[in-house]
């Protein structure tokens, strides 16, 4: 059976430090357990690729940062991920990408656990698909929040409020953006006249849902300007990680019996 590609926000995924294995042998699948209790062997994300760096020494190893409204995913593609590797060697960030890959946790030192992704496939995407991903991920996160497994709560001491706020923040980005895009010129006029909101022209964008069209080619810097302030603050984990040599192998952080989740 193929593993389902789970939908988790970066802000939640990056807090994960728990990895479990479904069985004893070498080929048993492993899962990253997130603070709301999602069991991820595979992930699917659509976000903004903001940075690609070749950090390999003898051979190519790309580190990519993919941003969503709640934080950044780290993806590492080496020789064992030829398709993703090729994509990352050619792409110029920023751009919208869709990625599916394997969930993983690195432990560069005792106090640091970094949840990352080994991409299987990365493709160019667009704003509409990104918005759909945010909405779907929000929906699934809220569903998980309503029923978190006790073992997961014990491990993470999951703060429901925090993840609800995270979901809200992500959804607000979807709502704001469309308004900005459609009414940009109207707004500019309104500013000159001294008022911004409550103008009837602000509702233009709501009239026609078909306005949101699928168009893969329409990817350009203008679409992601707003993402500047959404970039997560770099924390110490990242500098640690820059110092260490990123190997494409994971160390498991902890092994618990989570087979009942």
Partner 1 sequence: MVDKVNEAFDRAIRSLENVDENKIRKELEELILNYKVPVDQAVTTVVRKYGGEFNQSLERRKIISIGDEERGVNVVGRILSKNERDIVVEGEERKVFSGTIADDSGAINFTSWKEFPFQKGDVVKINNAYTREWRDQLELQIGDYTDLQKGQDDSVAELKELTSPKKVSVNDVGDVYAAEVEATIVDIQEGSGLIKRCPKCNRAMRGEECQEHGDVKGNPDLRIKAILDDGLGCVQAIFPLELTEDLTDISLEDAIKKAEDALDRTVVEKEMKEIIGKTILVKGRLIGNNFLVDNFSNPKWDPKEKAKKLIEMV
Binding-site ranges for partner 1 (CB under 8 A): 2-7, 44, 46, 97-98, 100, 120-121, 123-125, 128-129, 131-140, 142, 164, 167-168, 171-172, 174-175, 178-179, 205-206, 209, 212, 214, 216
Cβ–Cβ under 8 Å, residues 96 and 129: yes
Instruction: Rank residues 106 and 141 by Cβ distance to partner 1 and give the closer one.
Output: 141
Cβ distance to partner 1 smaller for residue 213 or 233: 213
Task: Provide the minimum distance between the beta carbon of 221 and partner 1 in the complex, in angstroms, as a whole number.
Answer: 20
Count the Cβ atoms, other than its own, within 10 Å of residue 27.
5
Find the shortest distance in angstroms from Cβ 238 to partner 1.
Answer: 27
Nearer to partner 1, 235 or 259 (CB): 259
Using the minimum distance from each CB to partner 1, give the nearer residue, 65 or 130. Answer: 130
Closest CB 189 distance from partner 1, rounded Å: 22
The order of strands in the sheet holding 18-21 is 18-21, 30-33, 39-40
Residue pair 175/138 in contact (Cβ under 8 Å)? The answer is no
Burial of 154 (0-12, 13-18, 19+ CB in 10 A): exposed
Task: Output the DSSP codes for 144-159.
Answer: HHTS--HHHHHHH---
Q: What's the min distance (Å) between Cβ of 138 and partner 1?
A: 5
């Amino acid at each position: 059976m193929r593993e389902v590609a789970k939908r988790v926000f970066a802000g939640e995924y990056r807090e994960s430090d728990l990895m479990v294995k479904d069985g004893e042998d070498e080929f048993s699948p492993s899962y990253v357990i997130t603070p709301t209790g999602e069991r991820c062997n595979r992930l699917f994300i659509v976000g903004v690729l903001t940075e690609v760096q070749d950090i390999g020494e003898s051979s190519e190893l790309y580190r990519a940062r993919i941003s969503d409204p709640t934080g950044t995913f780290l993806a590492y593609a080496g020789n064992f991920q030829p398709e993703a590797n090729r994509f990352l060697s050619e792409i110029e960030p920023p751009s919208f990408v869709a990625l599916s890959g394997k969930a993983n946790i690195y432990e560069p030192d005792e106090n640091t656990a970094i949840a990352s992704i080994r991409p299987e496939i990365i493709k160019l995407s667009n704003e509409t698909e990104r918005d759909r991903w945010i909405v779907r991920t929000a929906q699934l996160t809220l569903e998980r929040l309503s029923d978190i497994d006790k073992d997961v709560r014990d491990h993470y001491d999951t703060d429901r409020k925090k993840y609800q706020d995270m979901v809200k923040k992500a959804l607000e980005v979807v709502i704001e953006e469309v308004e900005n895009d459609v009414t940009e010129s109207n707004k500019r006029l309104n500013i000159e006249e001294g008022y911004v909101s409550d103008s009837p022209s602000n509702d233009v964008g709501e009239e026609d849902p078909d306005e949101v069209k699928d168009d893969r080619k329409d990817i350009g810097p203008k679409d992601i300007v707003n993402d500047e302030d959404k970039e997560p603050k770099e924390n110490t984990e990242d500098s640690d990680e820059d110092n260490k040599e990123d190997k494409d192998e994971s160390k498991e952080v902890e092994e618990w019996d989570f087979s009942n989740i």
